[in-house]
Structure 1
């Protein structure tokens, strides 16, 4: 017996007063309604309805069962309704950890559009590039550039970022503009970012046609912060392999000048990672989908670029 269907049939019989009308309301045969009520009475071990040729009425137990069953159905309908509303209007606190450059330059400036669509979601952002223990730190998801090495997490690629070699016009006037990447290995200061995982500078590798060159300059400045490297380059201290989305405004204003534009760097994939869960909460899902759309709409972060592991 389908107890849920039997309960529905019982309620309809009580409310309509006949098995025939109840069957019409439920769009099932009258014999099916009769079987459901009989099975329900056997299951409960009590008679629920008094039947005559002219009408149907509840017994004392039937009246009590009807009130409880009606309340249960009402509660179930309210629960289903709240779930539907949660899908269309998710709410609650969302804890997200972002890398500093992507957070400050791409994600947070665009956040008003998301909050305008989902005003009941509250955010708590952390900005870092360190490994985050999502369970211990109660974080819903993290965004990271480069491969996700924690195999326990689900990682979805939402974009990719490119890099470009640039410095101030005054720096180029003083040190000369390179015509080949190897020119940067002599007489130039190269500002490089330290990888937090290896504590070594990220390699600077560029490709043109079939030639692939890694810049080996040992004279330079380093920092574990990408934005600090960009700031040093803006101060005229050297050449930086900058993320295009962080350098774009400075390139447009003329504060920075790119070189070797016909030499391409491998793009770096951007992932959002979260704990594996078949029932990912709606608030997390809509945020991840929004991030994917945001990155896809930006030429500097769209994942249709050539990508490589870092």
Structure 2
């Protein structure tokens, strides 16, 4: 195992104590969430990674040059395996699959936090590499592309270390990351400033509440797409709705009469949540450019909304 220069545990030996190993948890969770698009699965990966570390003999741990690099390699391999099986699972998924949305740390309600895990909202850093638009593009990549790109371009790991995880040469990993970048460049243009995004989301909420189809059409790009994810557990459109007129009609025909729409931060960007009797039943993320909404993602699957609900 090679040393990684940016590993937080760098310089510490395995016998430095459990706290030095556990300090890697947040970084591993950030990595796994970006690779898998699911906080639930990311936390499972981190638990499995630590279980494998604990299964090592004292001699095996002593032989590890950098525990942080070892943990990252193991977590990356687990994620790579899960990404391969996820493609099969998602072929059987009812409707469209959308990554699990995350609230801002100040808005995190629910808890999957154990006694040693701290504030769950602290475990994922909300930056441009975790926006819904970014995660959706990652979903279109092959598992190897996704791992190579996220490790190199987001976490700044060298291709030599990534090669150990992906099981390919450093040159091949460089090509994987390059291919992933081309996919990103082919995605819609960059987001607007935060205040402009907030204004668009607020205008969308008001037009939806008023059932004003003309106002909605004005806010939507001509090629806008709205995608819902109910997972077969709640009612949601099984296929994306496309086109400004069609999307506007879709929303006006489903007025939020029984729910309260609240503006919230979703994966670091302005979004909306729908609440019924104080319980979040839908989280909506938006992609915008040129003062128009280009994509709407609505997550209704209750299994993906645990961070947004009490309990």
- Taking structure 2 as the reference length, the TM-score comes to 0.23
Name the larger-Rg structure: 1
Higher strand share: 1
- Taking structure 1 as the reference length, the TM-score comes to 0.24
